[in-house]
Structure 1
Amino acid sequence: MKPRFLLLACAGITAAIAVAALAQAGGPTAKAEGVTFLGEPLTPEQIGLGRELYAANCASCHGSKLEGQPDWQRRLPNGRMPAPPHNETGHTWHHADRQLFTITQRGVSAVVPGYESDMPAFEGVLSDAEIAAVLAYIKSTWPERQREFQAKVSARDGGRS
């Protein structure tokens, strides 16, 4: 068996396990009430779609419970940072909606020029509405304090990327 095939097979198995674990364990609790994206209220359907898309596209790196990779604040041997958590213990909620959308769509370097990251850009993989749904799901799991803080950051941002 070639090493590349073995690596791809392991990645596929890991993704399948993450999706199954998220579905079985229920993952973080989503709360649709009061969750907005770019100032617009979000529906339970958008959050449900986001949960499915997160499980299929994000959980293999960011964790089925949005917990991120171990030692996410310490550089990997390749100089890049591990995937951060998207729950209240991470820093995702410090960023405005537009910035989170741009990072997800075009990659971290679209916001921080020259920054090298293992996170792929999802432009062409997920539609704008699907990216918004994933972010809606993530936001729906945060405690009220983090959602309020992030809403204020987004309001100050005024829609800039």
Structure 2
Amino acid sequence: MAASVKKTAVIISALGVLLLGASVLIYGSSQRSQLSYINPSDKQLVASGKHLYAKNCASCHGAKLEGQPDWRIRKSNGRLPAPPHDQSGHTWHHADAVLIDITKNGLVPGVTAPDGYVSDMPAYNQLLSNHDIRAVLAYIKSSWPQHVLATQKDISQRQE
């Protein structure tokens, strides 16, 4: 009888450990998903991002997210003008994790840009905190229509 009780206790303990492990994995995955997707419906984050965008990004990407003229045509130095961040640009084609990486580190050939690509996009990792970068991206995303937001959210979640 004592052996049976011990065996049951061991099985129950093992199941408890498995359930705890599964819970930690699920919770961690949920937390990563919440951290990686930047929600543009957070009004406080968007307001902060609007200010930061105006101060740090608008000089190249436009006060209204419109980008530089002829942004798809290379300049004489071979570089492309700054693209728009509204729905007419390609920002929404990228996962939030990629947008964060580009903002933090600039366009890095072989990582966030094609090999050999040279860009005027600076790295902001010394100027903006992670929260600031998320705020700027929330502001940018707040201008996109619902169907674009839904597509970009799907892209972000598939990249996790």
TM range (shorter): 0.7 to 0.9
Partner of residue 78, structure 1: 77
Kept after mapping to 2: 8 A contact 1:37/1:132: no
- Deviation per CA, 1:104-138: give whole Å up to 9, x if none: 00011141243210111101100010001000100
Confirm whether residue 91 of structure 1 aligns to residue 90 of structure 2: yes
Confirm whether residue 56 of structure 1 aligns to residue 52 of structure 2: no
In 2 relative to 1, CA 125–71 (structure 1 residues): closer, same or farther, beyond 3 Å? same
Q: Percent identity?
A: 51
3-state DSSP class of the match of 1:99?
helix
- Deviation per CA, 1:74-126: give whole Å up to 9, x if none: 00111000000000000000000000000000011141243210111101100
For residues 6-155 of structure 1, what are the structure 2 equivalents within 5 Å?
38-39=36-37, 41=39, 43-109=42-108, 110-112=111-113, 113-155=115-157
Kept after mapping to 2: 8 A contact 1:37/1:136: no
Deviation at 1:46, TM superposition (A): 0.7
3-state DSSP class of the match of 1:108?
coil
RMSD: 1.5
Moved over 4 A (4+): none
Higher helix proportion: 2
Kept after mapping to 1: 8 A contact 2:49/2:132: yes
Q: Distance in 2 between matches of 1:84 and 1:123?
A: 20
3-state DSSP class of the match of 1:114?
coil
Q: Distance in 1 between matches of 2:146 and 2:112?
A: 26
Q: Letter of the 2:46 partner, please give it.
A: I
Q: Letter of the 2:134 partner, please give it.
A: A
Structure 1: segments with no counterpart, 5+ residues: 1-35
3-state DSSP class of the match of 2:138?
helix
Q: Distance in 1 between matches of 2:116 and 2:101?
A: 15
Structure 2: segments with no counterpart, 5+ residues: 1-33
Bigger radius of gyration, 1 or 2?
Answer: 2
Deviation at 1:41, TM superposition (A): 4.1
In 2 relative to 1, CA 57–40 (structure 1 residues): closer, same or farther, beyond 3 Å? closer
Partner of residue 15, structure 1: none
